[in-house]
Amino acid sequence: MASTSASLTSEEYVEAFKVFLEHSTEHQYVPTNGEEQILQAEHPGVFVNTEIIEPNPQHVAAYKELVNQAPDLQRVSFVWHQLTSSQYEQQVMEKSTQKKFDFIHMIQMLYRVEDIPNTIKFFHSCLDHHGKLLIIILSESSGWATLWKKYRHCLPLTDSGHYVTSSDIEDILKRFGVEYQVYEFPSDWDITECFIEGDPVGGHMIDFLTGTKNFLGTAPMDLKKCLQEALCQPECSSRKDGRIILNNNLSMIVVES
Ligand SMILES: C[S@@+](CC[C@H](N)C(=O)[O-])C[C@H]1O[C@@H](n2cnc3c(N)ncnc32)[C@H](O)[C@@H]1O
């Protein structure tokens, strides 16, 4: 089913992402923006050189703000690259020497890169000996996976991202013949408001889910109904205390250098 809806701009994405975070347990297990302090505690006295690659200016600004507010980051340096991963790769390739890293993470971002296998290959090549690459991605057991695979016909065509889950990443890693371990983390997303007509929170959440601006206001009736019914299927969500909880399970994949 086609729709006339538009993709989210980066500002709209930031807003929709915030609402998603406020209603999910996504960040309960994900050490985003806090890993420098964890590393310092584990390796006291060691200098940590961090490079951040992030194309969205608002996300870069929010991260800088957190760094400015954090105490005890004297031994941590930050280099900011407001770039996509492929733009960063291009910059690295133009230099004669390639910097190596002990730890690289790609947390919930592979959906948006242009070429997933090559992005993984490139960042894996940036690891130093004994380095680790951490990929966090939606699990194949998540409701998103069912939505993307079984109920894709209920989604608008505007979402330009890849419908990728842990099993797709594992297939790529197996093809590359690299060693990795996978850890599963349960996560929930309360999507109840998505079913309340005219609810602004529900509007933002469904926009995040579909990668579409004002999905509820612009999608044809049959597409909306199809998506709302799909979201209620037991393979996607469960009911707790009258709330509708989407399965947002995550996989953490640790790749060896
Ligand atoms: C779902 S958010 C996850 C943010 C953060 N890692 C977290 O887990 O909270 C996806 C992030 O990927 C960034 N992104 C989008 N396209 C990208 C690309 N081509 N290369 C690198 N990052 C990208 C977005 O700007 C956004 O900050």
Which CATH number characterizes residue 210's domain? 3.40.50.150
For ligand 1, pick from 112, 115, 119, 187 the residue to mutate: most ligand atoms within 8 Å of CB: 112
* Domain containing residue 199: 10-256
Cα of 110 to ligand 1 centre, how many Å? 8
Q: Is 43 helix (H, G, I), strand (E, B) or coil?
A: coil
- What was the pLDDT predicted at 253? 98
Residue 214 half-sphere exposure toward CB, CA atoms < 13 A = 6
Give dist(CA 113, CA 162) in Å, integer. Answer: 8
Residues near ligand 1 (Cβ within 6 A): 17, 30, 32, 53-56, 59, 84-85, 107-109, 112-113
- What was the pLDDT predicted at 3? 45
Query: Using an 8 Å Cβ cutoff, are 23 and 191 in contact?
Result: yes
Which ligand 1 atom is at minimum distance from the Cα of 136?
Answer: 8
Whether 1 maps to a domain, the answer reads: no
The per-residue pLDDT for range 46-100, each reduced to its tens digit, is: 899 999 999 999 999 999 999 999 888 888 999 999 999 999 999 999 998 889 9
Whether 5 maps to a domain, the answer reads: no
- What was the pLDDT predicted at 160? 67
- What was the pLDDT predicted at 162? 87
Q: Is 102 helix (H, G, I), strand (E, B) or coil?
A: strand
Cα of 53 to ligand 1 centre, how many Å? 9
pLDDT in tens, the chain (257 residues): 444 578 899 899 999 999 999 999 998 877 665 677 877 778 888 899 999 999 999 999 999 999 999 888 888 999 999 999 999 999 999 998 889 999 999 999 999 899 999 999 999 999 999 999 999 999 999 999 999 999 999 998 866 678 999 999 999 999 999 999 999 999 999 999 999 989 999 999 999 999 999 999 999 999 999 999 999 999 999 999 999 999 999 999 999 99
Cα of 208 to ligand 1 centre, how many Å? 13
Cα of 211 to ligand 1 centre, how many Å? 13
Cα of 87 to ligand 1 centre, how many Å? 14
Give dist(CA 154, CA 229) in Å, integer. Answer: 9
Tokens of 135: 């990929």
Which ligand 1 atom is at minimum distance from the Cα of 85?
Answer: 20
Whether 2 maps to a domain, the answer reads: no
For ligand 1, pick from 56, 106, 109 the residue to mutate: most ligand atoms within 8 Å of CB: 109
What's the number of domains the chain is made of?
A: 1
Whether 139 maps to a domain, the answer reads: yes
Give dist(CA 123, CA 126) in Å, integer. Answer: 5
Cα of 92 to ligand 1 centre, how many Å? 20
Whether 252 maps to a domain, the answer reads: yes
